[in-house]
Structure 1
């Protein structure tokens, strides 16, 4: 590689066949990032929703980055290990990990209490919380020697209020706390790795748009509140480039507020509103006490 040629930033975005992961991956591609796109959907029909890892990877490349599709079931630890071994073999390092994979089933929006819905909704405890731990466990050794590296958990305000049942709430609260605790370990080891969680707003994904269309009277108000799936990707890039990145280590941050900090406009030309303003909801405080 010529001395004048700067190596591309390397990222892994999990659960990127569609939705938030796809948007984040494409946004990072717009900044020239090499993005490993993971997920289970490899062909049309693998999911009830459109989107595959190959389509996302192609969109990343078209946006100006380099998309690399890697089939990965994040409930399979060996598959996750193979993913990061591939990154090590091909890149020798990792700059950004976005833990976004989550086992969200259509029935999560069904009426009724948690015991009246399918038990499989609890899969979010596995592919959602545990999967983020496993991916970070394999990713960390690839990041420890970097001048800066970033682990992001995609989360939402459901961590601090009721939203779609206890499994969803435990998922969001769990990843927020996981980011905080991982940050403690990264700091104790004197690394340059920052771990944090980002609350996204309601996203204009195929899933949410279908929900809104199913009952405009009930959900129509969301049209004025939704964020594009790409918005969080631009926020992540701005965080990664921030000279003060380390001061966010362990924090749970509201994406809309970061958009204001970095003057990031969404696709509609506006910065989304914060749930702190709209709903008086904000992240829990974590205390500095450390017990080892």
Structure 2
């Protein structure tokens, strides 16, 4: 089995939650590297949230960048819709080199303009915040990984990247209980998937971006120090570099800082 991902064939990726933010940046970077990229999200109208893009727009940007973008409207809270997308990729491509678990609805309340509530104590937070972060976050990543596993195992050198975040122990108060729990669960998913998929030649990692200049974050730029921030496409360049690393299997089960990946591979994650 070769470690050269997709050697001699078109490489295929599925980026979940790719209508905006980090998912869109990763999809664009993959497009620039010539990948075929399935982009999924619920968003087909910019009216969904103030920052909402569309899967069609992202697919178009993948095309413009040099890849093949395929837009699929998929509610990642609907297991049947996720299964149908996995089946479609299997039928159309017969391979999946990269699954990016990025879909995340945990910021919807922040996107609605509730900055002051973001770091409120758990007893002041709406209980549905937990559900948003786990149903359209952790659970969605679990489901996509489980349903894509057969196709990933059929694809030599395939990779699962789960987008997470490192919540510093001394800053838990600034992120909220539900957020910290969700990101810790994503890290554990990446570790567990690595252990179970390793015998089948599949690598699984979690990545930890820093502060990323997504559409939602930039609405609150006045509250933030953006001096060392990363761009969505910069995160994508780090992911592309990881896919090109012939030794990436040695990293399976690890949580990888995007800044560390930038240093490892010499890529710019800031611009």
Does the alignment reach a TM-score above 0.5? yes
Please name the residue that 2:30 is paired with.
Answer: 28
In the aligned structure 2, how far is the partner of 1:21 from the partner of 1:262? 20
Map of 1:244 onto structure 2 = 247
Distance 2:167 2:74 in 1: 27
* Structure 2 gaps, min length 5: 1-6
SS at match of 2:142: helix
CA distance in 2, matches of 1:53, 1:159: 33
Cα deviation 1:234-291 (Å, max 9, x = unaligned): 11111111111110010001111110110001354xxxxxxxxxxxxxxxxxxxxxxx
- Which of 255, 258, 261 aligns to 1:258? It is 261
Kindly report which structure 2 residues correspond to 1:201-280, keeping only aligned pairs within 5 A, or say none.
Answer: 201-212=210-221, 216=222, 218-219=223-224, 222-266=225-269, 268=271
Per-residue CA deviations over 1:133-158 (Å, capped at 9, x if unaligned) read 00000111001122200000101112
SS in structure 1 of the partner of residue 38 of structure 2: strand
Q: 1:93 Cα deviation (Å)?
A: 1.0
Shift of 1:130: 0.7
**Secondary structure of the structure 1 residue equivalent to 2:239:** helix
Aligned partners of 1:67, 1:47: CA distance in 2, in Å? 23
Report the secondary structure of 1:266's partner residue: coil
Determine which of 9, 14, 17 is the counterpart of 1:15.
Answer: 17
What pairs with 1:80-229 in structure 2 (closer than 5 Å)?
80-104=82-106, 105-107=108-110, 109-111=115-117, 112-122=120-130, 123-158=132-167, 160=169, 161-162=171-172, 163-187=174-198, 190-212=199-221, 216=222, 218-219=223-224, 222-229=225-232
CA drift of 1:159 comes to: 6.9
Give the total of aligned pairs.
256
CA contact (8 A) 1:109 1:164 kept: no
Aligned structure 1 segments of 4 or more residues deviating by more than 6 angstroms: none
TM-score (structure 2 length as normaliser): 0.90
CA distance in 1, matches of 2:76, 2:47: 19
SS in 2 for 1:253: strand
Q: Deviations over 1:3-32 (max 9, x none)?
A: xx9321100000011000000100110000
Which of 1 and 2 has higher RCO (CA within 8 Å, sep 6+)? 2
**Does the 8 A contact of 1:15 with 1:21 survive in 2?**
yes
| Corresponding residue of 1:285 | none
